[in-house]
């Protein structure tokens, strides 16, 4: 998709010139005179949209020359949005090939951090999922040619951008796939493919899960013909005896609600109730391909929540891996049951420095935060603050909500240790987090990201086309980079 050159081609579909008010544009005088290029540079600088363009016809073919203004001291995600803008404009014109001029920037803007984020934005916005289209007629940018004399810098930036986006795309592919294709067993197969990235893969099937006592997780899937699994991805990139950091994902491959059946309208969206597991999988792929200097564990619980004669019922009591008993008030509060077993198991077996779980857990978080922030809950102020900081850098934001022992009374069960939902007292997202916290037995630093409002977008954004967002991969990769490598 991406190639490099030091020379401009004689003909082009779409040429993107990166400029700044201090740019010297003598390097492009071979195809546009200095006076015109400077006028376009000024127009791009003054235009609120951040760009301007000119088109001409040569040999019965349109050539489009776009000037994009690159400002100083932008946030990383703003440079990504600039990259997304380039792709967006090329797609409007149905252009499949882009020449991107880097050397037209002044030297103080030709920095690794700026260039790699522009490229991340371009690659991210260019994502297309057309696996099930009989006619592949979705317009996409198939080729980006980067024109620059700084070959080493550009190659490093491109490699980094591709490493990030390969994880984001892995997540988007998984989240987009329909549940009749991506059932728990097929999800396991997709994870096994990651062995080629040098991730170590371990799969726990139902026989093993019963043996070790993950009955909360197994109860969710017992109404489905599709078997349940836990998949473990291990990356050993850090010091040999260093404790790992761990990422835990809810992987409900389809959620009907079970016996507590959901309404029919919009139920098709429940194919992406496995987005937490999708994010963990994409993150682990990115950590591996970029050879992250950290020890990390990714663990996902893969189930399908279906109504059936064998399905779990409201009123049932299950014994979790921790030994705590759970009264099932609502079978549609199933993700927390999956995570409860995974949290205790991860803490006991791997003794991690920290645990971060991701889940499309509650509709209540969408009412609270819409599609702008994930809900963040944590038992550790330092971890919460770090997630908050990197979230703003990547525009994958998380808003911290409270945990407090006073909420516990809302989920105390009369006949078991805890009930899986509260019908009085409100605070649906908070009580879900309080539920999860009960299964952390050794006070390991922990954060819960409720991504129900962030996993899917129904409109194009500056760096994400309609569909699965891949939320969390960039956020958590950045967290690892800045604090744990």
Q: Which residues are catalytic?
A: 262, 336
Backbone angles phi, psi at 448, to 5 degrees: -115, 125
Question: Could you give the count of Cα atoms lying within 13 Å of 129 in the half-sphere of its Cβ?
Answer: 19
CA distance linking residue 305 with residue 284, whole number of Å = 25
Whether residue 271 contacts residue 326, with contact meaning beta carbons closer than 8 Å, is answered with: no
List the structure tokens of 26. 């003598």
How many CB atoms are closer than 10 A to CB 273? 27
Task: Select from 113, 250, 132, 247 the least CA-distant residue to 181.
Answer: 132
Whether residue 363 contacts residue 267, with contact meaning beta carbons closer than 8 Å, is answered with: no
Burial of residue 107 (CB within 10 Å: 0-12, 13-18, 19+) is exposed
């Amino acid at each position: 998709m991406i190639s490099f050159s030091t020379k401009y081609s004689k003909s082009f579909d779409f040429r993107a010139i990166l400029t700044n008010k201090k740019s010297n544009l003598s390097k492009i005088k071979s195809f546009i005179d200095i006076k015109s290029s400077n006028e376009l540079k000024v127009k791009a600088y003054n235009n609120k949209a951040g760009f301007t363009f000119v088109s001409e016809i040569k040999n019965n073919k349109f050539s489009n020359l776009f000037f994009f203004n690159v400002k100083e001291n932008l946030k990383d995600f703003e440079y990504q949005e600039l990259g997304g803008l380039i792709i967006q404009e090329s797609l409007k014109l149905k252009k499949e090939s882009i020449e991107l001029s880097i050397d037209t920037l002044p030297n103080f803007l030709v920095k690794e951090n700026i260039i790699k984020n522009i490229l991340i934005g371009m690659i991210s916005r260019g994502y297309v999922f057309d696996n099930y289209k009989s006619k592949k007629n979705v317009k996409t940018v198939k080729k980006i040619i980067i024109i620059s004399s700084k070959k080493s810098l550009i190659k490093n930036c491109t490699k980094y951008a591709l490493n990030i986006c390969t994880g984001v795309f892995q997540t988007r592919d998984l989240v987009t796939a329909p549940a009749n294709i991506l059932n728990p067993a097929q999800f396991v197969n997709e994870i096994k493919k990651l062995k080629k990235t040098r991730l170590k893969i371990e799969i726990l099937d139902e026989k093993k899960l019963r043996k070790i006592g993950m009955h909360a997780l197994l109860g969710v899937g017992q109404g489905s013909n599709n078997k349940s699994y836990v998949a473990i991805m291990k990356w050993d990139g850090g010091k040999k005896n260093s404790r790992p950091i761990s990422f835990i994902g809810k992987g409900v491959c389809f959620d009907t609600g079970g016996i507590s059946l959901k309404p029919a309208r919009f139920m098709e969206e429940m194919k992406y109730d496995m987005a937490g597991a999708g994010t963990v999988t994409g993150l682990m792929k990115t950590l591996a391909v970029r050879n992250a200097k950290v020890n990390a564990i990714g663990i996902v619980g893969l189930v399908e929540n279906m109504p059936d004669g064998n399905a779990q019922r409201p009123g049932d009591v299950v014994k979790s891996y921790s030994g705590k008993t759970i009264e099932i008030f609502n079978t549609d509060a199933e993700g927390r049951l999956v995570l409860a077993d995974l949290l205790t198991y991860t803490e006991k077996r791997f003794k991690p420095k920290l645990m971060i779980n991701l889940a499309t857990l509650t509709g209540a978080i969408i009412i609270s935060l819409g599609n702008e922030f994930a809900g963040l809950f944590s038992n550790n102020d330092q971890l919460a603050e770090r997630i908050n900081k990197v979230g703003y850098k990547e525009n994958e934001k998380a808003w911290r909500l409270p945990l407090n022992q006073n909420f516990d009374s809302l989920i105390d069960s009369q006949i078991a240790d805890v009930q899986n939902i509260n019908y009085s007292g409100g605070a649906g997202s908070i009580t879900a987090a309080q539920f999860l916290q009960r299964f952390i037995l050794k006070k390991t630093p922990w954060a819960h990201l409720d991504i129900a409002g962030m996993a899917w977008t129904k409109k194009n954004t500056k760096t994400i086309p309609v569909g699965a967002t891949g939320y969390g991969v960039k956020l958590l990769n950045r967290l690892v980079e800045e604090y744990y490598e």
